[in-house]
């Protein structure tokens, strides 16, 4: 059961690690394989640099918040059993992954305002 709850920390940890990388070491050049690759961010080198740095910071902060909240929720989930634990984990992972939409919207809106 502990292993199952540890798995619930994977998405927030990925957000923290990737956010840190893109925040502090964004891809230098516009490319199609790594970085914040949207039509808006790939318009110019300036938008590319801004999107990756700003997006990395947002992803990092969102990951830290999610990590903290998930750790607290997992502490209480230790008492759950069977189907309820499975449902908890499914809902948790869906919520964690869907928060990426929040970051996406925030970055794209920031790009529209700034550029």
Which pTM value belongs to this model? 0.84
Q: What is the residue whose two structure tokens read 């516009």? A: 30
3-state secondary structure of 81: coil
**Which runs of consecutive H residues, i.e. helices, occur in 8-81?**
10-24, 45-77
Q: Residue 42: which residues within 8 A CB-CB, separation 6 or more?
A: 30, 48
**Per-domain boundaries in the chain:** 2-114
Region 9-38: what's the mean pLDDT? 93
* pLDDT value at residue 7: 82
* pLDDT value at residue 76: 86
Dmax (CA) for the chain in angstroms is 52
User: What does pLDDT average to over the chain?
Assistant: 90
* pLDDT value at residue 25: 94
* pLDDT value at residue 49: 95
* pLDDT value at residue 83: 87
């Amino acid at each position: 059961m502990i292993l199952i709850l540890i798995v619930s920390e994977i998405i927030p940890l990925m957000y923290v690690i990737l956010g840190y990388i893109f925040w502090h070491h964004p891809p230098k050049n516009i490319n199609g394989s790594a970085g914040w690759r949207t039509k808006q961010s790939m318009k110019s080198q300036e938008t590319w640099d801004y999107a990756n740095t700003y997006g990395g910071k947002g992803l990092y902060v969102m990951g830290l918040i999610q990590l903290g909240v998930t750790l607290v929720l997992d502490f209480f989930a230790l008492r759950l059993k069977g189907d309820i634990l499975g449902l908890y984990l499914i809902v948790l992972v869906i919520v964690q992954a869907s928060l990426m939409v929040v970051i996406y919207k925030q970055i794209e809106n920031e790009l529209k305002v700034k550029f």
